[in-house]
Structure 1
Amino acid sequence: MRLTVIGTGYVGAVHAACMADLGHQVLGADVDPERIAALTAGRPPFFEPGLGGLLKRAVDSGRLRFTTSTAEAARFAATHFVCVGTPPLPGSGAADLRFVEAAVDELTAHLPEERDERVLVVGRSTVPVGTTQRLAGRLGTAADLAWNPEFLREGCAVQDATRPLRIVAGVGAAWAEARLREVYAPLTRLGTPFVATDPATAELVKLASNSFLATKVSFINAMAEICDATGADVLTLARAMGADPRIGPGCLVPGLGFGGSCLPKDIRAFAAGVEDLGLGESVAFLRQIDAINSRQRLRTVELAAHLVGGSFTGRRIGVLGAAFKPGSDDVRDSPALAVAEAVRRRGAHVRVHDPEAADNARAVRPALLFAPDVTKTCDQADLVLHLTDWPQYRDLDPAELAQVVRTPAIVDARHTLDAAAWRAAGWTLHAPGRPRHAVRRQGGAP
């Protein structure tokens, strides 16, 4: 089939490459000429494992090309995927739909009046419930509109795009459903479930899914706070809870909390959208979930301050990680970067290392110092903070690193280091929610 992808950011670039890899003829369109030039050369404009090979293979095959012309995209195909961003509105957290609306309006303006087949515009952006109905009015009779939310995880996006757990299609007409089934036939033949529903339900699936995942993360982090106060072990607690199939182990991972461009943004936008419907009490818990998540950053800063004697002034802190998660160079709403900046503002001399995200982090936090390797990051450090669980950090030799620091003390805020190995190498390892590794709470301080 011939398809276009309008917007070649994170979601659009991955979707375009995947669709071409499945055998479709794909034209990606974007207003950013530098991004289009990079993609045309087969170079992803961001770090995502596996995407480089997938993209280059698709471009070299001739099935994928890119343009800055919406008019060209409108002429190229009768099925158009809209993958532009929906950032939060300043002050409210609600989704800003200007880019989606602009993409739909521009595409509509360039659609040919005469076509051999009906035109289908397919939204993949994360939007409030009711967006499809509102946008349909902007399209008028030029095209039909469906909603097909994406479920890509940064760091696993290629896997999620080529072997998705489900495909959700919110459609208002049988022919639109048939068109999308044809698009995704290579995946459904491999067993991927295809869930056809109305557009409102499709919009809600993405928001509800991310809100539920965020709830599990914040719940286990709240339990970690209780474990600190009572002497219980949060990892054993999570393992025992996750053994119950009604609960499951997924996302019951205590640590520094979630960040990035999806979960924080989506739960705030979901809460704001539902409040606009007059049903704010139904999702009031999402505000608390957000607050619990943000509190993990402050708890980590306070624990670090306690471990260096109550004041960061004059202390050297080595920070391992800047990306919001491993496998990504994304630093948007990164808990690791937020902690590093907070420690710096309280007087510490902070050096940060990240294997992929250093350039992006430096752009948004220019006052922080970034080191090219872990050794320079931790040189003469009074405390090391492990804040992004890159596999490179799990593979560090704690005995070698102990020769570099001033004080062999580390906060494992991600619960992924081998505590026994680090202790055997002479380190004091602190892990929130673990009584053998964390400082017990006394008088309100961790």
Structure 2
Amino acid sequence: MSLKISVIGTGYLGATHAACMAELGFDVIGVDIDAAKVAALSRGNLPFHEPGLPELLRKHVDSGRLRFTTDYAEIADWADIHFIGVGTPQRADGHGADLRFVDSAVHELTSRIRGSALIVGKSTVPVGTARRLRGIIDTEAHSEANIALAWNPEFLREGFAVADTMRPDRLVIGAEGGTAEALLREVYAVALAAETPLIVTDFETAELVKVAANAFLATKISFINSFAEVTETIGGDITTLADALGHDIRIGRKFLNAGVGFGGGCLPKDIRALQARVSELGLSHTMGYLAEVDEINLRRRERVVRLANSMLSDKLVGARIAVLGVTFKPDSDDVRDSPALDIAVRLFNAGADVLVYDPKGNNNAAERFPRLHYANDLPEAVAQADLVLLLTEWAEFKALVPADLEDVVAERRIIDGRNVLARGQWEDAGWEIVGMGQHHPPLDGEL
């Protein structure tokens, strides 16, 4: 008999996991306390942008294999496996992770389960969380219940979430005892048959894998951006430098791209939560370098603002600036901690007339910062612009050539915040173009 699966939390992670589990052939119920979100998903409507996921959602809502509810009682003894995919945002009073939603999900399930079940955490949590939850389950479980616990971290990339769920580059299971491993091997049978690496380990290692991966990725991005600060000051080609480093098999070329820095709902909060957790463990010196990783990342945003001011001859106030892209990465509508949106807001606060265009992110950005002006398309955004900023490397922006803009802008100035344009082509067409890591006369306050 096929396993029945519930997924607690129907945000980016939960909705993706639920739809993909249905695609693998399981009967799935998604659970969320947000009745409006549940109603939308039940109609097959996805409240965020993720390529390929809307079609998967509608397919399995229509087939009846996937449905949604707000009622924990409906799934407590119905499902064999309960995946927890709720958010763990940064706490309002510090850098630590807010675990209220994870704790609530475990309490709600534990209080209702009467038979055998497996609870599987997928949310990104501080190390030690699963061990603590195991204690809660042992204390609160009904005498008739037999509840196993495992931690199975997600490694989704926005824009590739369906592929990353269906064909992951690795699977990690943190568990005690063989029951959890056996059930999860059944869940992931297709991926395992395709020889996806499987790491079975303890709770703590499974919890650390995700935050360690994000900390390493953030460090790599800030590493190349620290060298961009050097080449901006003294000269040198940051892209060639990155290419040369990338040929070293110990390093690799991926994510060695100088730019405006990282953002999104994972990297910034996860490296801060990791620092907070090791500090709680009395090991604050161990992850001290992450504070500098974070600081380098934030400096890139201010660098772009100061560069814009310099290119406008200190006449930022009243200047018309076109911002192309406000999501933290392409193929996503996610503007959480987006460096691009932060730069747009900083320019607006400095007195510039900022007009934003993003293929998918305008609505989410407008909810956060309604005072910015949002264009419906690229021509509207760049019309009569004194300066153009390319801040998210959407395909339509990467494909731009000077002729696309030169008859509509007021001045031929552009900042390539992602180093994706052919600089020589733009310079030959009479544009002043500056990329990240490119040598530039010292800005105010720089030596």
Any idea what the Cα deviations from partners look like across 1:7-31, whole Å, max 9, x if unmatched?
0100000001111111111111111
Query: Residue 404 of structure 2 corresponds to which residue in structure 1?
Result: 400
SS of residue matched to 1:341 = helix
Q: Does 1:35 align with 2:37?
A: yes
Moved more, 30-39 or 290-299: 30-39
Query: Residue 68 of structure 2 corresponds to which residue in structure 1?
Result: 66
Does structure 2 conserve the Cα–Cα contact (< 8 Å) formed by 1:318 and 1:350? Answer: yes
Query: Residue 383 of structure 1 corresponds to which residue in structure 2?
Result: 387
CA-atom RMSD, angstroms? 1.3
Query: Residue 236 of structure 1 corresponds to which residue in structure 2?
Result: 240
The runs of 5 or more residues in structure 2 that have no matched partner are none
Q: Does 1:320 align with 2:324?
A: yes
**What amino acid does structure 2 have at the position aligned with 1:76?**
W
Q: Does 1:278 align with 2:310?
A: no
SS of residue matched to 2:433 = strand
Any idea what the Cα deviations from partners look like across 1:157-202, whole Å, max 9, x if unmatched?
1111111000100001111111111111111101111110001000
Equivalent in 44, 47, 56 of residue 45 of structure 1: 47
Equivalent in 247, 250, 257 of residue 254 of structure 2: 250
TM-fit CA distance, 1:349: 0.7
Write the distance in 2 (CA, Å) between the matches of 1:241 and 1:62.
51
**What amino acid does structure 1 have at the position aligned with 2:123?**
S
Write the distance in 2 (CA, Å) between the matches of 1:73 and 1:443.
60
TM-score if structure 2 supplies the norm length? 0.96
**What amino acid does structure 2 have at the position aligned with 1:441?**
P
Write the distance in 2 (CA, Å) between the matches of 1:45 and 1:432.
34
Equivalent in 349, 353, 356 of residue 352 of structure 1: 356
TM-fit CA distance, 1:442: 5.8
Query: Residue 134 of structure 2 corresponds to which residue in structure 1?
Result: 136
**What amino acid does structure 2 have at the position aligned with 1:159?**
A
Q: Does 1:127 align with 2:125?
A: yes
Does structure 1 conserve the Cα–Cα contact (< 8 Å) formed by 2:148 and 2:179? Answer: no
**What amino acid does structure 1 have at the position aligned with 2:133?**
L
TM-fit CA distance, 1:427: 1.7
TM-fit CA distance, 1:44: 1.3
Does structure 2 conserve the Cα–Cα contact (< 8 Å) formed by 1:27 and 1:76? Answer: no
Query: Residue 14 of structure 1 corresponds to which residue in structure 2?
Result: 16
Query: Residue 108 of structure 1 corresponds to which residue in structure 2?
Result: 110
Alignment length, in residue pairs? 439
Q: Does 1:218 align with 2:242?
A: no
Does structure 2 conserve the Cα–Cα contact (< 8 Å) formed by 1:301 and 1:342? Answer: yes
TM-fit CA distance, 1:60: 2.5
Write the distance in 2 (CA, Å) between the matches of 1:433 and 1:415.
9
Any idea what the Cα deviations from partners look like across 1:72-94, whole Å, max 9, x if unmatched?
01122121000000000123110
Any idea what the Cα deviations from partners look like across 1:112-137, whole Å, max 9, x if unmatched?
x2x3xx21100000000000010112
Any idea what the Cα deviations from partners look like across 1:242-289, whole Å, max 9, x if unmatched?
100100112111100000100000000001001100011110000110
Any idea what the Cα deviations from partners look like across 1:369-426, whole Å, max 9, x if unmatched?
1011111111111111111111111123421311111111000011112223323333
**What amino acid does structure 1 have at the position aligned with 2:208?**
L
Q: Does 1:419 align with 2:419?
A: no
Q: How many percent of aligned residue pairs carry the same amino acid?
A: 51
TM-fit CA distance, 1:61: 2.7
Q: Which runs of 4+ in 1 moved over 6 A?
A: none
5 Å-filtered alignment, 1:289-328, equals 289-328=293-332
Does structure 1 conserve the Cα–Cα contact (< 8 Å) formed by 2:260 and 2:300? Answer: yes
5 Å-filtered alignment, 1:140-219, equals 140=138, 141=141, 142=145, 143-219=147-223
Does structure 1 conserve the Cα–Cα contact (< 8 Å) formed by 2:362 and 2:374? Answer: yes
Write the distance in 2 (CA, Å) between the matches of 1:68 and 1:442.
54
SS of residue matched to 1:37 = helix
SS of residue matched to 1:93 = coil
Write the distance in 2 (CA, Å) between the matches of 1:426 and 1:293.
31
TM-fit CA distance, 1:443: 6.4
Q: Does 1:369 align with 2:409?
A: no
